[in-house]
Amino acid sequence: MTQEPQPPRRRGAFIAATLAALPLFSAGAAHASPLQSWPLGVSWWLPQDYSKHGPAIDSLFNWIFWITMVTFVAVQVTLVVFLIKYRHRPGAKGVFIHGNTRLEMAWTLAPAVILALLAFFSKGVWTNYRYAQDFRGPGEKAADVMVIGQQFKWNVVYPGKDGKFGRYLLFPKPTDWRWPDGKDHFGAKGPRFLKHGQAIDSINKYIDQDNPLGKDLLDPDGKDDDWQGSLGRILEVPAGRPVDVTLSSKDVIHSFTLVNYRVKLDTVPGMRGMISFTPTETTAEREAKSKKIYPVDELLAIAKNPKAPEWRVYVDDKTPSGEHANFDTRAKEWRYVDAKKATIIRTGRTLTPDNLQKLKDNGVTQIVAYNPGSWEISCEELCGQGHYTMRGEMVVLSPEEYARKYEGATATPTPPAPGAPKVTMAH
């Protein structure tokens, strides 16, 4: 029951204008390049993307954001207008209406069509996100990496020259007749030959000391795996080449997340997940873009902002000297100009308000600084009390450097991805 509604012509015009505005807002959001950061380098919108599939995800995000935002505003404005126009008034009489079939069909079909289109475009974006199908050349081989989540670190394994991973996360049980490496441990050929309590203690010690990733040491595919020292080490991947990351977990559910690569996938114990992405820029290239002389006052203001990106100092022959502090290019560090010549900060170290203030107090007005070219691997799943410490680091190498380091000098070069630098290797 309501008062006399407004004429259909005015109501239809309002709806038509609202629907007409949606593509304008959406198109503008999808194709525009919004300012990515506030002053002092604090990001306010999406963080900068460094993957080939990232622009499609950002575009989809912008479309969904603006469609829902415009719809939300339109609904709320309409709600306020109706609250005012049809508010209770003494003596006002209401009339019964039976609705408007065209209007009901419009507000039913419009969201259905929009959702269907979003689902259609999301399918393609999701497929490329998971399997990078549109970013691989004919016969191009991806760089394979295995990442195993563990409280509270990321463990990284490379397959070696044969390109095959061995078997991992196969931990011994008290009923096993042999240890995974086929050797005797704790005075027994296997846990089966020990008492149950002793077997449990021996298994825990074996996992902690000898085989933390549960590797099957007798599997021929894993003989050349690069897995020693894998616990919590830096993840290194090549630029301009698809990277296939196999994910799993040793203990609880974690979530492998690279914000600047639009990558996120949960690691589930007992399951294997796979995600693909193609980096567009090496760590060295990223650092070179920001490496120059900066005023100490400006860097000090940035360092005091907890949301600002990290900055590191670089010491070379272009470094300006200070009144009471000087740089040593041989040792690559800033030192006090006194008898002790104590170190203030070394090259590559993070600039903090404390060490920047020390430089400023000693007459240093300018230093060479840069943004580190590595990326943080975070866990977006609450995985325990130490969840906040579960941080990894990813470095992007050139294709040549990656092939030499992890695939051997005799590895067969593969065709580069479109737009990527060519890989040439000496056999």
pLDDT 10s per residue in the chain (427 long)?
Answer: 444 444 444 444 433 444 344 433 333 333 333 333 444 445 678 888 999 888 989 999 999 999 999 999 999 999 999 999 888 888 877 777 788 888 899 989 999 999 999 999 888 888 877 776 666 767 778 899 999 999 999 999 999 888 899 999 988 889 988 888 888 888 888 899 998 989 899 999 888 888 888 888 888 898 889 988 888 899 999 998 889 999 999 999 999 999 999 999 999 998 999 888 899 999 999 998 888 888 989 989 888 888 788 888 887 666 666 665 666 666 777 776 655 667 777 888 888 898 888 888 877 888 888 888 889 999 999 988 889 999 999 999 999 999 999 987 554 444 444 444 343 333 2
Question: In 3D, which of 41, 37, 36 has the Cα closest to residue 301?
Answer: 41
Q: Encoding tokens for residue 28?
A: 């503008």
- What sign for the dihedral angle of Cα 103, 107, 112, 113? positive
Question: In 3D, which of 373, 302, 315 has the Cα closest to residue 346?
Answer: 315
Domain that holds residue 49: 8-131
Q: Is residue 137 part of a domain?
A: no
Predicted local distance difference test score (pLDDT) of residue 72? 95
Of the residues 104, 131, 158, which one is the last residue of a structural domain?
131
Taking the C-alpha atoms of residue 425 and residue 404, their distance in angstroms, rounded to an integer, is 8
Q: Is residue 1 part of a domain?
A: no
Is 355 in contact with 342 (CB distance < 8 Å)?
no
Of the residues 100, 131, 162, which one is the last residue of a structural domain?
131
Q: Is the pTM of this model over 0.85?
A: no
What residues contact residue 215 under an 8 Å CB cut-off, 6+ apart?
A: 166, 167, 168, 170, 180, 222, 225, 227
Predicted local distance difference test score (pLDDT) of residue 327? 67
Q: Encoding tokens for residue 413?
A: 């070069």
Q: Is residue 83 part of a domain?
A: yes
Q: Is residue 173 part of a domain?
A: no
Identify the bridge partners of residue 238 per DSSP, sorted by sequence position: 397
What residues contact residue 372 under an 8 Å CB cut-off, 6+ apart?
A: 287, 310, 312
Predicted local distance difference test score (pLDDT) of residue 31? 36
Q: Is residue 182 part of a domain?
A: no
Q: Is residue 392 part of a domain?
A: no
Of the residues 355, 370, 385, which one is the last residue of a structural domain?
370
Question: In 3D, which of 183, 189, 236 has the Cα closest to residue 210?
Answer: 183
Number of domains, the chain = 2
Q: Is residue 27 part of a domain?
A: yes
Taking the C-alpha atoms of residue 251 and residue 151, their distance in angstroms, rounded to an integer, is 7
Phi and psi of 194, rounded to 5°?
A: -110, 155
DSSP per-residue string spanning 333-394: EEEESSSS--EEEETTPBP-HHHHHHHHHTT--EEEEE----EEEEE-S--STTGGG-EEEE
What is the b/e burial string over 154-169, where b = at least 16 CB atoms within 10 angstroms of the residue's CB?
Answer: bbbbbbbeeeebbebe
Q: Is residue 196 part of a domain?
A: no
